[in-house]
């Protein structure tokens, strides 16, 4: 995860949806604690991305359970008929 301009951009490059950075971190910290620590570091927006393929439904469900909003779909990003889904979550600083 990299923070730039108070935005945490979480990249999920590994094919296994359960390998996403947020998922791994949430196994060690309750998600509320993770959010608290990010807010302490002035992170105001989380951005995650994943594939729309069925094998990534667990990642999509995880992001939705954590309060992320589906913001955009980029068609055919990864391959033909493999669309990128972009989710965001505001951490509402101050």
CA atoms within 13 A on the CB side of 93: 13
pTM, rounded to two decimals: 0.69
Confidence at 93, pLDDT banded by 50, 70, 90: low
Digit-coded pLDDT (tens) for 11-52: 434 334 434 565 556 566 677 777 887 788 788 888 888 999
Average pLDDT value for residue range 86-94: 82
Q: How far is the C-alpha of 59 from the C-alpha of 50, rounded, in Å?
A: 7
Supply the pLDDT for residue 6.
Answer: 52
The torsion angles phi and psi of 21, rounded to 5 degrees, stand at -60, -45
Cβ(22)–Cβ(30) below 8 Å: no
In the predicted structure, residue 8 carries a pLDDT above the cut 60: no
Cα–Cα distances in Å, from 54 out to 16, 49, 58?
12, 15, 9
CATH code, 2-90: 3.40.630.30
């Amino acid at each position: 995860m990299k923070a730039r301009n108070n935005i945490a951009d979480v990249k999920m490059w590994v094919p296994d949806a359960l390998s996403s950075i947020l998922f791994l971190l949430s196994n060690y910290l309750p998600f509320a604690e993770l959010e608290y620590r990010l807010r302490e570091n002035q992170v105001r927006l989380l951005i995650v991305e994943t594939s729309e393929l069925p094998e990534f439904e667990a990642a999509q469900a995880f992001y939705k359970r954590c309060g992320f909003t589906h913001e955009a779909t980029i068609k055919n990003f990864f391959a033909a008929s493999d669309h990128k889904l972009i989710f965001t979550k505001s951490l509402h600083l101050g």
